[in-house]
Structure 1
Amino acid sequence: MRLDKFLKVSRLIKRRTLAKEVADQGRITVNGNQAKASTDIKAGDELEVRFGQKLVTVRVNELKDTTKKEEAANMYTVLKEEKLGGE
């Protein structure tokens, strides 16, 4: 599954166009490698996403083409969340 689609379906990022922009800005890594929106991801991959001053690391549990809002969080496990820079 494409990275931008996973981010949208899992609701880590609300819109696919926004997910694509974030990836194109180099703010996402997959297993330590910088990722593009078209990067293929699979279950078990680790994603690091930089949201402003926050770095979120998640592990992909499962891939689904569509999911209900309540079940979206089951698609990934948050491994760590850290603040970047500043005090």
Structure 2
Amino acid sequence: MRLDKFLKISRIIKRRSVAKEVADKGRIQINGTLAKSSSSVKVGDILKIQFGNRILEVAVKELHESTKKEDAAKMYELLSETRVDNFE
């Protein structure tokens, strides 16, 4: 499954266009490798996503073509959520 589609269906990011933009700006890694929106996501992959001053690290648990809101959280497991404070 494409990375941008996984992020939308799992509801980590609400819109696919936003997921594509975040990925194409180099803010997402799959298993430590920089990912594009078209990168393939498999069960067991570790995603590291940077949202402004937050970094989410999630493990991919399930892949579905579509899902209900209640089932979306079952698609991934939150490993860590880190705040990054940029003091310069």
Query: Residue 9 of structure 1 corresponds to which residue in structure 2?
Result: 9
Shift of 1:8: 0.2
Unaligned runs of 5+ in 2: none
Q: RMSD across aligned C-alpha pairs, in angstroms?
A: 0.9
Letter paired with 1:35: A
TM-score of the two chains, using structure 1 as the length reference: 0.97
Query: Residue 29 of structure 1 corresponds to which residue in structure 2?
Result: 29
Query: Residue 58 of structure 1 corresponds to which residue in structure 2?
Result: 58
- Following TM superposition, where does structure 1 have runs of at least 4 consecutive aligned residues deviating by more than 3 angstroms? none
CA distance in 2, matches of 1:69, 1:83: 26
The secondary structure found in structure 2 opposite 1:4 is helix
**1:52-83 deviations in Å (ceiling 9; x for gaps):** 10000000001000000000000000000000
The secondary structure found in structure 2 opposite 1:79 is strand
Q: How many residues were matched structurally?
A: 87
CA distance in 2, matches of 1:32, 1:4: 17
Unaligned runs of 5+ in 1: none
Query: Residue 79 of structure 1 corresponds to which residue in structure 2?
Result: 79
Query: Residue 41 of structure 2 corresponds to which residue in structure 1?
Result: 41
CA distance in 1, matches of 2:50, 2:7: 13
Letter paired with 1:14: K
The secondary structure found in structure 1 opposite 2:8 is helix
State the identity %: 55
CA distance in 2, matches of 1:41, 1:63: 9
